[in-house]
Copies of this chain bind each other. A is one copy, B any other.
């Protein structure tokens, strides 16, 4: 649990009591590769912190999977819209690789928001991070060439995500055809 404590302490000031309260909310869970943690249509009830593994968030457009978020070790992740509105999710969350994580019940987390200014701050930071991720992806989709999009993706994501995510999932995240991504990757290797 050292890692989640460290990540949390980088975001908010945390007393020993607050840490112990938070720690007691965590359940450790593991999922095999390709497991679906949440199906669209279901309401998200948990925030996740990945201990080790790789998760992806996607939704369907005309039956096609559009990936919108990848997360790996030491990151918080959730289908955020569903979580904060407590309404059915339009997104799926799936394990790309075998993944172990801590799950935090959202209802209990909101009780912590009310009990402590530090946790309220955590709630603000999570919302701001989710907002900025959406803005960043929207801007990348709108303003960059396919090659620039991929270079941005490499720069802004942990190597684990870049190296281990299937190429067609990265292509859908970048809004480019899988064949274009293959060509760009070949060009980058030989250039």
Contacts and interface: CB of A to CB of B under 8 A. Distances in A.
Contact of A124 (B81, B123, B135, B143): B123
Chain A interface main SS type: helix
Interface residues of A, number: 24
Contacts of A85: 132
A85 B131 CA distance: 11
Which of A124, A130, A134 has the largest number of chain B CB atoms within 10 A? A124
Contacts of A116: 117
Interface in A110-151: 113, 116-117, 120-121, 123-124, 127-128, 130-132, 134-135, 138-139, 142-143
Interface of A: 61, 80-81, 84-85, 90, 113, 116-117, 120-121, 123-124, 127-128, 130-132, 134-135, 138-139, 142-143
Given A81-B132, A131-B131, A134-B135, 17 more contacts: A61-B142, A81-B135, A84-B131, A90-B139, A116-B117, A117-B117, A117-B120, A120-B120, A121-B123, A123-B124, A124-B127, A127-B128, A127-B131, A130-B131, A131-B134, A134-B134, A134-B138
